[in-house]
Amino acid sequence: MQVVLVPIVPGRGVSLWEGLAGLEDGYDVESIASATTGVMHLIVRLKA
């Protein structure tokens, strides 16, 4: 899964990150940060 998230707060809508407790139980989650651009990549893979 690839999700592009721009760090803005529009004031309404639904947060993608609400209710993700236990995500690591069924998925491998890896984060990679770029020091030069400030971009954070989150890689979510279904566990085999």
DSSP the chain: ----------SSS--TTTT-TTHHHHEEEEEEE-TTT--EEEEEEE--
Predicted local distance difference test score (pLDDT) of residue 22: 76
Mean pLDDT of the chain: 76
Instruction: Answer whether residue 28 shows pLDDT above 80.
Output: yes
Instruction: Answer whether residue 15 shows pLDDT above 80.
Output: no
